[in-house]
Amino acid sequence: MEALKECRANLVVYLHPQKAKRVKDAVYRELSSLLFKFNEALDGVVLTYEPKFSSNLAKILPGIHPYFGVRFEAKLLLFYPKPEMLLEGEVVKVGQQSIHIIVLGFASAFIADEDIREDFKYKIKHGKEVYISRSDKKHRIKVGTTLRFLVKSFDEEMLHVCGSLIQTNTGSVQWLERKAEESQADSVTEKRISNKRPVEVLETDNLVPYSEKLKSENHIKKSRRSENRDS
Domains and CATH numbers, the chain: 4-79 (3.30.1490), 85-175 (2.40.50.140)
The DSSP result for the chain, as a single string, is -TTEEEEEEEEEEEE-GGGGGGHHHHHHHHHHTTBTSEETTTTEEEEEEEEEEEEEEEEEPTTSTT-EEEEEEEEEEEE---TT-EEEEEEEEE-SSEEEEEETTTEEEEEEGGGB-TTEEEEEETTEEEEEESS-TT-EE-TT-EEEEEEEEEETTTTEEEEEB-STT-EEHHHHHHHHHHHHHHHHHHHHHHHSPPPPPPPGGG---HHHHHHHHHHHHHHHHHHHHH-
Cα separations (Å) of 58 from 10, 28, 63, 137, 166? 14, 14, 16, 62, 53
Q: How many CB atoms lie within 10 A of CB 60?
A: 11
Quick one: pLDDT at residue 71?
83
Half-sphere exposure of 146 (CA within 13 A, CB side): 11
**127, pLDDT greater than 70:** yes
Residue 133's DSSP bridge partners are: 120
Report whether pLDDT(22) > 80. Answer: yes
Residue type, 13: V
Contacts of residue 1, defined as CB under 8 A and 6 or more positions apart, other chains included, come to 86, 87, 88
211, pLDDT greater than 60:
no
Separation CA 37–CA 28 (nearest Å): 16
Residue pair 88/1 in contact (Cβ under 8 Å)? The answer is yes
pLDDT confidence bin for 29, thresholds 50/70/90: very high
CB 175 within 8 A of CB 136: yes
Q: What is the pLDDT of residue 222?
A: 55
pTM: 0.74
What digits encode the pLDDT tens for the residues 142-193?
Answer: 999 999 999 999 999 999 999 999 999 999 999 999 999 998 876 766 667 6
In terms of C-beta density within 10 A (0-12 exposed, 13-18 middle, 19 or more buried), how is residue 71 classed? Answer: middle
Task: Write the CA distances from 218 to 208, 214, 230, integer angstroms.
Answer: 15, 6, 19
Separation CA 11–CA 71 (nearest Å): 6
Give the C-alpha separation, 16 to 61, whole Å. 12
